[in-house]
């Protein structure tokens, strides 16, 4: 069984999740609720360097890039740190 650990950031609390068999993980409820992800939702997942990005299905790439850029700026995170 593998594990995915995310360290707590000084500027924002980052959740720690565990990866179970077959790569399954639990998205924290507050994140699911904020993004409208429910039991039957589909996510699009891709790799960006050493990061895994999961988005609710149907989000446009430009919207995603803008959203990621805003969150990174807000939390003072650069690509090297990510």
pLDDT higher than threshold 80 for residue 39:
yes
Q: Write out the chain in H/E/C secondary structure.
A: CCCCCCCCCCCCCCCCCCCCHHHCCCCCHHHHHHHCCCCCCCEEEEEECCEEEEEECCCCHHHHHHHHHHHHHHCCCCCCCC
Of 1-5, 11-15, 35-39, 73-77, minimum mean pLDDT range: 1-5
More confident site: 7 or 23: 23
Q: Quote the percentage of the chain above a pLDDT of 70.
A: 78
Q: Which domains does the chain have, with CATH numbers?
A: 1-82 (2.10.260)
The SS3 call for residue 74 is helix
Check residue 59 and give its pLDDT: 61
Task: Convert the pLDDT of each residue in 48-70 to its tens digit.
Answer: 888 898 888 766 666 777 888 88
Q: What pLDDT score was predicted for residue 6?
A: 42
């Amino acid at each position: 069984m593998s594990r995915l650990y995310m360290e707590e950031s000084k500027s924002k609390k980052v959740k720690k999740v565990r990866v179970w068999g077959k790569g399954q993980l639990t998205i924290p409820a507050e994140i699911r609720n904020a993004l409208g992800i429910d039991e039957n939702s589909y996510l699009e997942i891709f790799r960006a360097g050493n990061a895994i990005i999961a988005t609710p299905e149907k989000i446009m790439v430009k919207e995603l890039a803008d959203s990621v850029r805003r969150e990174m700026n807000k939390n003072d995170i650069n690509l090297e740190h990510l």
